[in-house]
Structure 1
Amino acid sequence: MPAIVKRCECSKNNGGITTTRLIWRQYGVSNFKLACILLSACMGSQGSQRMDENPDEVQEEETNPLTDPADQSQPQIELISDEVVVRKIGEESRDDEDHSDDAQCCPICFDSWSNAGDHRLASLKCGHLFGLSCIQKWLKGQGGKCPQCNAAAKSKDIRLIYAKALKVLDTTEREEALLELQKERAARLKAELAAASQKLRLKEALNECERLRSMLSDHNAVPQRSNSAPSVSTDSVYSYREVKVLKIHDTGCRVMAFSPTTGIVCISQPSPNPLFPGHGFKKFLLSDLKPVQFKCSHSALIRDLAFSNTSMNPLLLSCANEPTIKITNIISNSVIQSFQGPVPSWSCAWNSDDNNYFYTGLLNGNVLIYDIRNTNEHVGSFNQGAPVVSLKYVPRNSCSDLSCSGLLVGQLNRATFYEKNEEEFLPHVLLADKKVISLDYEELSGHFVVSCRPSSSQFPNVRHEIHRLSKSTESTDVQCQSVHTFHGGSTQRFLSRTKIFSHPSDENHLLLAAGDEASSSLNIWDVQSQRLAQRVTSPCPPFMDVCAVQQNNENFLLSLTEKNLHVHRWSAV
């Protein structure tokens, strides 16, 4: 205790503050209240000692407590009460709490650590910092626990920290501001999507009013006009004729893909061998329509297939009702890359402008962007909401009226075009409140088709809506112009696919092929004349997928049911 009294006398001009720090450093006291008690005890023992040595002097000071401030030879501790000293120490401690000397001291020995030697800075896997020699001794004798949090620790968990000094920055306000900024951006995006949806509803209502006005004027002009259903056009010289039917499997066929460079058709099906269950695809050569080989690639039902547009070695992208997405070399028939997603994928598409990238639409509504040069994780994503049933990439300058590239995304409740702008995708809601089952895009004309389930008494039948995308270089909005709506049957159980493609005899005309479950047929419409051009039936409906291909200057229409592949050739009637 005399050593403490001596330190109090040497620090009397500092109001007791330096004294408290010296006491902490001398005796290793980590409790502020205990330091204050020691300080009060020191001051009390000092007064008692002076009273025993010279009682007259103490009596004189008690009668004259106010001494000359200029006289620095007399001690000033007696003029400050214990309460004042404690208050000053508390204020200084609170002000310098984050910058105290303890921040640079080992919590075991209370000695400053160094950046070299036995007492250099080290940490455990829990993150707490100690002197190297101290933590080594502690772990040997304390049952392998961290001195700070009692987490299990071993000597091998000690990590050296290569730093000259440590300083913790308080970034709480910054993180809160960033979080608020993200919330504001999400709210703004939601508001923009809601506004775009309302604009589309207004535009659709105006188009419907204009169509009703036109029908009313036509009805008034020609009262005796027949209201019968549209008939099949008979003035066409050419049509699709069925040339072959190939049995693929007993059931379970869903999608197909065609490679123009190799002439190979891949069709998804369950494994034909019961000893090796799973799902894969069977390859066909369009030249002879003979099966080449079956490749089992997934353990669940395949949802989508897509070929890359590389001319030398096309790659087949496949996704199924499982989180794994696979890329298969169609020539060597081997899986060359696999990507693991968070949830099962329902659709996929290649970036035709850069085949290093591809997109997958997930069950939870997210769209993930992958780079085949990075197999660890996806490189980008954007949220949707409902499951993504269809993805179509729109190349840059694919048609004269569209000056941008992007991604057409078909969900169970809407259709959206994501415009590719440098490193981000800007959403443009095209159709809202739709029960979408399929989506397809025709690059040369900029037209796309959205097929929707029957939804209410207002729309009792399946609808195939034809729209046209356009955007000028001066405009910032992508325009969606409604062209025509074709109606199918009253039932739609499967997520069957439709196809819009160029007319084999006239590139300026478009054809639309879509399966109809109610009539067990495949309907082919002429988009320009808005008439049903042809109807194809099958003994094993329904039609699940359609693909229009060209090989050796001949045009074919491939239609897939759950069991068979129907091959139709465009030829004269």
Structure 2
Amino acid sequence: MPNPSDYIALGSQSEEETEPELEEDSEETEEEQQEEGFIPVMESPRVLAEKESKNGEATVCSNAGESGENSQGNEWNRGDIDGLFCPICMEAWTTTGDHHVCCLPCGHIFGFSCIRKWLQQQGTTKKCPQCNRKCTLKDVRKLFASRVVAIDGESQKRIQSLEAKCISLDKKNAALIKKEAEWKKKEAEWKKREALLQRELHQLKEKTIYLEHLLDVKPRTLGHPPSMGGYCVPSLGSEFNGQGPFILQKELGVDGARLFDIDASSKIILMTRRLQGLGGMHVLTKMSLVAPYTRQDISLPTGSKAVRDLHICPSDGSLSLFASLGKKLSVLSTKINNFILAYDLPAPAWSCSWDLNGSHQIYAGLQNGSLVVFDMRQTARPLEFVNGLTSNPVHTIYSLHNSTLPSGVTAVLSASSAGICQWNFGGSEERQPVVLETGNQGACISLAYCPSSDDIIASFRPRIDNSNEMAYSQHLLTPAIGQGVQGSHVHLKRFGSNCYQKLAVTCANVNDVRLPRSAVMNIESHGCLFASGDELTGELVLQELPSFTVIQHLKLRKQPIYDIKYVHDVDGGLLGCLCDDILQLYGNHALK
């Protein structure tokens, strides 16, 4: 017997839906019909082959509900079995034998033996058991098929309805996905906008601080214009007409600034800052020296970390050099506010310098005591790399004029806590560093150099026994700690290519932890002056060289001093001092 699932048949039509009865066949008696009999129908070879290949699996179903219950574990309902069995005997029909599946002209299906008995018992009025449509025994047709499949109209409609719903849901889902992507894009744009507004708000706060400082300074400027920002030493009053050489011109609020440099020709200041409220992000800020002192923040290259040193190119003010603790030596173009070069270093960079004899060569002092030379025209690898005499960080490096050096040779001064060295690069001869003799002054913590006069000032503090340079050579971005101790300033002057003479030594109040900054200024017709911070008085002290005579004390609004720079232009000299969040600019009226 075949499996019930082999055949699916349509449900029988109701009597209300029967078609009109056809005309009765020509007058034939029941006896004549019985005498005529039926023409035996032979199964085709194809059907026989299919039955043999299926090993006799030809029956439609077996024993109705029992096999279904055993295989499926539940009872058949009428909707499941309707059309699988002969509606007369309620037995499953077969594809062979007396109960062969057959149909009437009206389309209803029965077992052959059942429909034959039914029609024979009807007498002259022979009708379909289901629709009452007239028929005769001759109209019975055996069906030969491996499967009889009929589609349920209601199920088909339901399937089509569900497919339409699926298509509709797919469209809605696609629309929602599109809207979600649009909202994510808008969210990213709003976050970017929020960051820009936060930065603008920060800049406005800085401008407010600057204006508050300006309002505070204005009355003092009107009351005491000559000596504003400091007081004069009476013994030198005659030289500067009873005044110090510098007067305060501007005070600018610069939150988080630690280093700066001035481009006098372009009237801009470039500084490094650490922003508050943005995860301590380090940025560069370009500020105009012309009111209203507009500012632009410039992002550092990825992985740069904090900037340890910066210098504007002396021959091309549109280029700036940065040394950072992220093992980067970078070159910025202030014309486009973008970095044009970024060199990877083997160790964190503590100092950097432009070559004074050309704009192509740059230098970097590393944390491990090494020095690196790069040619900006050859970016593949360093031009020179030398190991230092010690592993102490090179906290300061300066390029020297090569007017007294052999052709093709360049020289730099480097300073670490161990002392000061001159390094020569280029040429065919083997180079040995020249160690400058400063006496037993202690640990070198600062170096200032004036290229126009070859004056050098090295600052020292007492050494600490069994100390580690990395523990005491604090980074400039470290908060102000420590206290003032008795140190010294040593004045050296360069003669020739490798000769130095120690001219003077003076005591100084220096910090016992931080690395200070200082500057040597060559003022025309008045010699050289040295600017440095006094840790005990909290003042910016100007001293005349080589005597170290104090000529002016400049009052500072805050402590500590982070950086000191001096530039000279056609309008005179400009001395900048960066304290805690305030940049004070002093003009040299002696040059005007």
Tell me the residue number matched to 1:483: 503
1:374 match: secondary structure: coil
Is the 2:558–2:582 Cα contact (8 Å) retained in structure 1?
Answer: yes
After superposing the two structures, state which structure 1 stretch, 348-357 or 426-435, moved more: 426-435
Please state how far the C-alpha of 1:404 moved relative to its aligned partner: 7.2
Question: How far 1:421 moved relative to its partner?
Answer: 4.7
In 1, Cα distance between the equivalents of 2:280 and 2:559? 25
Q: How far is the alpha carbon of 1:405 from its aligned partner?
A: 4.3
Shift of residue 398, structure 1, vs aligned partner:
7.4
Q: Return the letter of the residue paired with 1:333.
A: N
Q: Aligned letter for 2:427?
A: E
Question: Shift in Å at residue 320 of structure 1?
Answer: 1.6
Runs of 4+ deviating beyond 4 Å = 402-405
Contact 1:521–1:542, Cα closer than 8 Å, also in 2: no
1:464 maps onto 2:489 in alignment? yes
With over 3 angstroms needed to count, the CA separation of the structure-2 counterparts of 1:333 and 1:280, relative to structure 1, is same
- In structure 2, C-alpha distance between the alignment counterparts of 1:362 and 1:553, rounded to whole Å: 37
Give the structure 1 partner of residue 14 of structure 2: none
Q: Is the 8 A contact 1:345 1:363 kept in 2?
A: yes
What count of residue pairs does the alignment treat as equivalent?
331
CA contact (8 A) 2:353 2:362 kept: yes
Is 1:535 aligned to residue 553 of structure 2? yes
Matched, 1:281 2:284: yes
Q: Would the alpha carbon gap of residues 405 and 446 (structure 1) be closer, same or farther in structure 2, given more than 3 Å must change?
A: farther
1:493-538 Cα offsets, whole Å, 9 max, x none, are: 32121101112x515x100000122211111001144310111121
Q: Which residue matches 2:421?
A: 416
Picking from 520, 525, 531, the partner of 1:506 is 525
2:489/2:507 contact within 8 Å kept: yes
| Contact residue 486 and residue 510 of structure 2 kept, 8 A | yes
- Please tell me the residue identity of whatever aligns with 1:435: A
1:446 — aligned with what?
454
Report the counterpart of residue 572 of structure 2 in structure 1.
554
Residues 546 and 232 from structure 1, CA distance in 2 versus in 1: closer, same or farther, beyond 3 angstroms?
farther
CA distance in 1, matches of 2:554, 2:404: 31
Question: C-alpha distance in 1, partners of 2:265/2:347?
Answer: 33
Distance 1:292 1:531 in 2: 38
Which has the larger Rg? 2
Structure 2 residue aligned with 1:79: none
Amino acid at match of 2:307: I
Q: What's the CA shift for 1:287?
A: 3.8
**Residue 435 of structure 1: CA displacement?**
1.1
Residue in 2 that maps onto 1:149: none
> Which residue identity is paired with 2:248?
E
Point out the more displaced range, 256-265 or 461-470: 256-265
AA matched with 1:355: S
The one-letter amino acid of 1:500's match is V
Where 2:287 maps in the other structure, the secondary structure is strand
Question: How far apart in 2 are the matches of 1:405 and 1:497?
Answer: 25
Deviation at 1:437, TM superposition (A): 1.6
Pairing of 1:76-475 with structure 2 (within 5 A): 233-235=236-238, 236-237=240-241, 238=243, 239-249=245-255, 251=256, 253-271=257-275, 274-275=277-278, 277-288=280-291, 290-297=293-300, 299-311=304-316, 314-384=318-388, 385=390, 386-397=392-403, 405-422=410-427, 425-431=431-437, 434-455=442-463, 461-471=486-496
Whole-Å Cα distance in 2 between the matches of residues 302 and 346 of structure 1? 8
Contact 2:409 2:427 in 1 (8 A): no
TM-score of the two chains, using structure 2 as the length reference:
0.52
| CA distance, structure 2, for counterparts of residue 289 and residue 425 of structure 1 | 51
1:453, distance to aligned residue in structure 2 (A): 1.9
Deviations 1:126-160 (A, max 9, x none): xxxxxxxxxxxxxxxxxxxxxxxxxxxxxxxxxxx
Q: Deviations over 1:468-516 (max 9, x none)?
A: 11127xxxxx22201112322153432121101112x515x10000012
1:262 positional shift: 2.1
1:216-273 deviation per Cα after TM superposition (whole angstroms, max 9, x unaligned): xxxxxxxxxxxxxx98733332521112211100x4x32212224323211111135x
CA contact (8 A) 1:521 1:536 kept: yes
TM-aligned CA distance change 1:403 to 1:527, over 3 Å: farther
Partner SS state of residue 486, structure 2: coil
Q: Does structure 2 retain, via aligned residues, the 8 Å contact 1:554–1:570?
A: yes
State the AA in 1 paired with 2:445: I
Instruction: Give me the identity figure in percent.
Output: 20
Name 1:96's counterpart in structure 2.
Answer: none
Q: 1:311-336 deviations in whole A, cap 9, x for unaligned? A: 4x631111122112211101110011
Counterparts in 2 of 1:490 and 1:260: CA distance versus 1, 3 Å: closer
CA distance in structure 2 between the partners assigned to 1:406 and 1:289 by the alignment: 41
CA distance in 2, matches of 1:467, 1:404: 22
Structure 1's unaligned 5+ residue stretches are 1-229, 473-477
* CA shift in 2, pair 1:451/1:468, >3 Å: same
Inter-partner Cα distance in structure 2 for 1:276 and 1:519? 34
Q: Is the 8 A contact 2:503 2:546 kept in 1?
A: no
Change (3 A) 1:559 1:290: same
CA distance in 1: counterparts of 2:350 and 2:572, whole angstroms: 32
The SS at the match of 1:378 is coil
Deviations 1:395-454 (A, max 9, x none): 21279xx99741000111110011345166431000466411221221222211111123
SS state at 1:489 partner: strand
In the alignment, the residues of structure 1 paired with residue 458 and residue 234 of structure 2 have an alpha-carbon distance, to the nearest angstrom, of 23
Distance 2:559 2:281 in 1: 24
- Residues 455/405 of structure 1: CA separation in 2 closer, same or farther (3 Å cut): same
Distance 2:274 2:460 in 1: 27
Counterpart CA distance in 1 for 2:557 and 2:463 is 28
- Alignment root-mean-square deviation, CA: 3.0
Residue type at the aligned position of 2:246 = Y
Q: CA deviation at 1:460?
A: 5.9
Whole-angstrom distance in 1 between the partners of 2:315 and 2:485: 43
Length-normalised TM-score, structure 1: 0.53
SS at match of 2:265: coil
Measured in 1, the distance between the counterparts of 2:306 and 2:402 equals 33
CA distance in 2 between counterparts of 1:279 and 1:431 reads: 38
Report the CA distance shift for 1:403/1:535 in structure 2 as closer, same or farther (over 3 A): farther
Contact 1:498-1:546 at 8 Å conserved across structures: yes
CA contact (8 A) 1:232 1:531 kept: no
Distance 1:304 1:490, change over 3 A: closer
User: Which letter does structure 2 place at the counterpart of 1:437?
Assistant: I
Is the Cα contact below 8 Å between 1:340 and 1:377 reproduced in 2?
Answer: no
Cα displacement string for residues 262-299 of structure 1 (whole angstroms, at most 9, x for unaligned residues): 23211111135x34742122112234471421112155
Query: 1:376 and 1:259, CA in 2 relative to 1: closer, same or farther beyond 3 A?
Result: same
What SS class does the counterpart of residue 567 from structure 2 fall into? Answer: strand
User: Take 2:339 and 2:565, find their aligned partners in 1: how far apart are those partners?
Assistant: 24
Q: How far 1:558 sits from its partner (Å)?
A: 0.7
* Distance in 2 of aligned mates of 1:369 and 1:321: 17
- The change in CA–CA distance for 1:304 and 1:425 in structure 2 (over 3 A counts) is farther
Q: Quickly say closer, same or farther: Cα 1:392–1:481, change in 2 above 3 A.
A: same
CA contact (8 A) 2:504 2:546 kept: no
Structure 2: how far apart are the matches of 1:405 and 1:555?
28
Partner of 2:61: none
Specify every segment of 5 or more residues in structure 2 that has no aligned partner in the other structure, as ranges. 1-232, 466-483
